Amino acid sequence: MIRSMTGFGEATANADGVHYFLELRSLNNKYFKTNIRLPDELQALEPEVESHLRKRLTRGTITCVVKVSDTSASAAMTVNHGALSSYIEQVSKTPQIADGTVTLQLGPLLSLPGVMQAPTDEESRIERARKVLKGLLYEALLHLVAMREREGVFLVEDLMGHRSVIAEKLAVIAEQAPSAVEEYERRLRLRVETMLKDAGVRVEQVDLIREVAVYAEKSDISEEVARLSGHLDQYQELLDNTDDRPVGRTLDFLAQEMLREANTIASKSADSTISRATVEIKGAIDRIKEQVQNVE
C-alpha cells in the first residue's frame, strides 16, 4: 500500500495518578531518522521507544515527544535528614547565628547539594512508564499510519496521472518511429536529386538504401520503447501493491531508469513528433521524481 511519509498521531493515558502524553510527527526523509524527547527521568527508555518506531516505520524523520505530569505522592522528593542535620550543625556554629543576630531559615538549606533526593523507587517508576508508553506508542502509531495511508491515496492518484501521460506519449512514439525512417529516406532522396540535377548524374538506388539503412540503425529506438514500456508495467505493479512493503525507494530508482530511456530516445531520434512526445514524457517523469520523495 502506498503511504505518504507525512503524518501525525497522539495518545494520552492516566495511570496511578500520573498523566502521560505522547505525540508523533513524521516528515519526509530518504532514510529513517528519529528525534525522541523524553522527560529526564525516562531517558533510559529512549532505545526502546526507537525500537518500537523502527518496527512500524521504514522511512521519514520521526519526532516523538513524551510529557509526564505526576500528581501522585510518589512524585515527592525525599529529604536526606543526615545531610540536612550536618548543614544545620555547621551553620549553627556561625557567630551571627549563635548570638541570634541572624535567624536560621530552613528553606535555603533544602536547596543545598544532597539534601533533596529523587524518590528511591526510580526503577519501579520507569517500569510503570514503560508499560504505559508501549500502549501509547501503539495507539499513536495507528493514527499516524492511518494519516499516511490517507495521504497515500492522493499520491497514487497523482502518480497514476503522470503514468497515463507517459503511456499515451509512448504510444505516439511507437507509432511514429517507422514513419520517421521513411521520412528520412524521402528527404534524403529529394536532397540528393536536387544536388545532382544540374550535374546530370544519377544516384544509384543501392547507395540510397545503404544510407537509409545506416540511419535506421542509428535511430532505432525499439529497444528503448520496449524497456520504457516494461518500466511502466512495473510502476503500475508498485502502485497496485497492497501489502506493507515500502516502495518509495524502488519508485525513485524506477523513475531514474525511465528518464534514462527517455533521454536515449531523444538523442537517437530527430523526428519532430517523437521529440515533442519525448519532452512531455520527460516532464511527467520529473514530476514523478518529485512526488515519490513523499512516498514511504
Average pLDDT, the chain: 84
- At residue 194 the predicted structure's pLDDT band, cuts being 50, 70 and 90, is low
Mean pLDDT, residues 220-242:
89
Distances (CA, A) of 143 to 6, 29, 137, 138, 293: 12, 20, 10, 9, 22
Tell me the one-letter amino acid at 211.
E
Q: Determine the pLDDT at residue 169.
A: 95
pLDDT in tens, 174-185: 888 776 656 555
Residue that wins the pLDDT comparison between 139 and 220: 139
pLDDT at 94: 79
- Does this model's pTM top 0.85? My answer is no
Closest CA relative to residue 239, chosen from 50, 43, 1, 20: 1
Q: What residues pair up with 136 in beta bridges, in sequence order?
A: none
For the chain, the 3-state helix, strand and coil shares in percent, each to the nearest 5, are: 65, 15, 20
pLDDT of residue 137: 96
Percentage above 90 pLDDT, the chain: 52
Assess whether pLDDT exceeds 60 at residue 195.
no
| CATH number attached to the domain at 152-294 | 1.20.140
pLDDT above 70: residue 215: no
> Can you give the pLDDT at residue 111?
79
Question: Which of 55-64, 131-140, 173-182 is least confident?
Answer: 173-182
Q: Could you give the residue range(s) of every CATH 1.20.140 domain in the chain?
A: 152-294
Upper half-sphere CA count for residue 24 (Cβ side, 13 Å): 35
C-alpha torsion sign, points 267, 268, 269, 274: negative
Extract long-range pairs of 50-58: CB within 8 Å, 24+ residues apart: 52/134, 52/137, 52/138, 52/141, 53/24, 53/137, 53/141, 56/141, 56/145, 57/26, 57/32, 57/141, 57/145, 57/296, 58/32, 58/246, 58/296
Q: What is the C-alpha separation between 204 and 192, in angstroms, rounded?
A: 11
Place of cell 550543625: 89
pLDDT at residue 91 in the model = 77
Q: Which of 139, 115, 150, 127 is nearest to 3 (CA)?
A: 150
User: What pLDDT, in 10s, does the model give residues 91-108?
Assistant: 787 777 777 677 777 777
Counting other chains too, the contacts that 158-164 makes at CB distance below 8 Å and 24 or more residues apart are 158/291, 159/2, 159/239, 159/251, 159/288, 159/291, 159/292, 160/239, 162/284, 162/285, 162/287, 162/288, 162/291, 163/232, 163/235, 163/236, 163/239, 163/284, 163/288
Amino acid at 19: H
Local confidence band at 192 (pLDDT 50, 70, 90 cut-offs): low
From the CB of residue 255, how many other CB atoms can be counted at a distance below 10 Å? Answer: 23
